[in-house]
Amino acid sequence: MDKQHSQCPVEFTVNMVGGKYKLVILYQLAIHGVRRFNELRRELSNITPRTLTRQLRELESDGLINRQVYSEIPPKVEYSLSETGKSLYSLLLQFEKWGLNYMANNPK
Amino acid sequence: MDKQHSQCPVEFTVNMVGGKYKLVILYQLAIHGVRRFNELRRELSNITPRTLTRQLRELESDGLINRQVYSEIPPKVEYSLSETGKSLYSLLLQFEKWGLNYMANNPK
DNA sequence: ATATATACTATCCTTTAGGATACCTTAAAG
DNA sequence: CTTTAAGGTATCCTAAAGGATAGTATATAT
């Protein structure tokens, strides 16, 4: 994804959180604190497990989320925002706020 | 793009400004006020004219930017933020701020 | 014995975004 | 009479994102 070579800070941030699902996942984690795989799956109603796995892995390798595995059967894995992920909080709120406002002013 | 049916405000906003270039274009317009086609092309150094045209057309049909055509030869077209586009200002600043901060704390 | 639950992985396929390159128009400048 | 300039279009192609579906492991519940 060539994340290193973005000179523009906006472009850099887009490369970190861009795509159809990442901001929504981060938003769910910001709201709920901790989420499990299937909880996220239900909240992102059209996502397939393959796609969700990949998005989570990318967020993890970019250091935005933590993945906590419990050695239990059936498996239990919890996702949460890392400190870096938490620093996206006000950005996430801007997305929420803008969407709410737009939808309120352009109903239906 | 099914923009109407996004229930989640974050998802809705992502559908409006998502993609590799849209936020960067909006950011350039926010900074400079008015930009011409080839000015944007130079600022988004790897974009092809076809892609830039499409991004601009989508932003225009979503009501985020204005397109002002002057009947001159050679052609002159100016792009600027609409009022709705201007309402993205603080969201754009969050992207800029987060990117700058990340890059400062993770140098090289 | 069978079903259920979780958190996946594997394989294959479709869709969408984006890139490369060439070309168009018209007027003025050299 | 050729070049340059602006703001594109047209055609074709590649790459990346994402979707569909099936399957795995293992313990507990029925």
SS3 B14: helix
pLDDT digits (tens, 9 = 90+) for B66-76: 999 998 888 99
SS3 state of residue B8: coil
Question: Which residue range is the domain that position B93 belongs to?
Answer: 3-105
Tell me A3's DSSP state.
Answer: G
Which of B4, B6, B14, B82 to mutate to test binding with chain A, by most A CBs within 10 Å of its CB? B14
Among all chains, which residue has been given the structure tokens 């944007």? B40
Percentage of chain A lying above the pLDDT 90 cut: 82
Residue found by looking up tokens 């996502």 in the block: A47
Closest among A42, A29, A45, A41 to A79, alpha carbons compared: A29
What does the DSSP assignment read for A60-71? HHTTSEEEEEE-
Cβ pair B99, A87 in contact under 8 A: no
- What is the predicted pLDDT for the residue at A49? 93
pLDDT at A63 over 80: yes
**pLDDT value of residue B106:** 86
Report CA(A90)–C1'(D20) in Å, whole number: 36
Chain A partners within 8 Å of B96 (Cβ) = 9-10, 13
Contact A27 B10 (CB under 8 A): yes
Give the closest-approach CA distance of A102 to chain B in angstroms.
Answer: 9
A49 touches strand D (CB under 7 A): yes
Q: CA-CA-CA-CA torsion for B18, B24, B29, B32, nearest 10 degrees?
A: 160
How many residue pairs bridge chain A and chain B with CB atoms within 8 Å of each other? 92
Number of domains forming the structure of chain A = 1
**Residue numbers in chain B where pLDDT is lower than 50:** 1-4
Task: Give distance CA A66 / C1' C18 (Å).
Answer: 32
What is the pLDDT at residue B4? Answer: 43
pLDDT of residue A3: 45
Identify any residues that bridge with B78 across adjacent strands, giving them in sequence order. B36, B68
Q: What CA–CA distance (Å, rounded) separates B57 from A98?
A: 21
CATH number at residue A49: 1.10.10.10
Name which of A23, A62, A63, A16 is nearest A43 in CA terms.
A23
- Calculate the average pLDDT of chain A: 91
Distance, Å, B49 CA → C24 C1': 14
Task: Report the amino acid identity of residue B48.
Answer: T
- Say whether pLDDT at A1 is over 50: no
Quickly list DSSP for B25-94: HHHHHHHHSEEEHHHHHHHSTT--HHHHHHHHHHHHHTTSEEEEEE--SS-EEEEEE-HHHHTTHHHHHH
Both structure tokens of A1: 């994804």
- A65-87: pLDDT as tens digits: 999 999 888 899 999 999 999 99
pLDDT for the residue B2: 41
B46, B10 contact by CB (below 8 A): no
Higher local confidence (pLDDT), A6 or B26: B26
Question: Is A55's CB less than 7 Å from nucleic acid strand D?
Answer: yes
Q: What per-residue confidence (pLDDT) applies to B5?
A: 52
When pLDDT is averaged across residues A19-46 and rounded to a whole number, the result is: 93
Judged against a pLDDT cut of 80, whether residue A4 lies above it is answered with no
User: Which of B7, B84, B88, B95 is the best residue to mutate to test the A interface, defined by the most A CB atoms within 10 Å of its own CB?
Assistant: B95
Which nucleotide lies closest to A67 by the C1' atom and the CA atom? Answer: C7
